Amino acid sequence: MPCLFCKIVAKELSSTIVYEDDKFLAIKDIFPKAPLHLLLIPKKHIISVNYLEPADKDLVGDLILLAKLIAKEQGTAESGYRLSFNIGKDSGQTIDHLHLHLMGKGQLPLS
99 counts as catalytic: yes
The active-site residue, picked from 37, 45, 97, 99, is: 99
CB-based burial label for 83 (10 Å; 0-12, 13-18, 19+): middle
Torsion of CA 29, 46, 60, 65, to 10 degrees: -30
What span, in angstroms and rounded, lies between the C-alpha atoms of 107 and 11?
Answer: 33
At 100, phi and psi to the nearest 5? -110, 125
Strand partners, 38: 28, 102
Residue pair 35/19 in contact by the 8 Å Cβ criterion? no
State the catalytic residues: 99
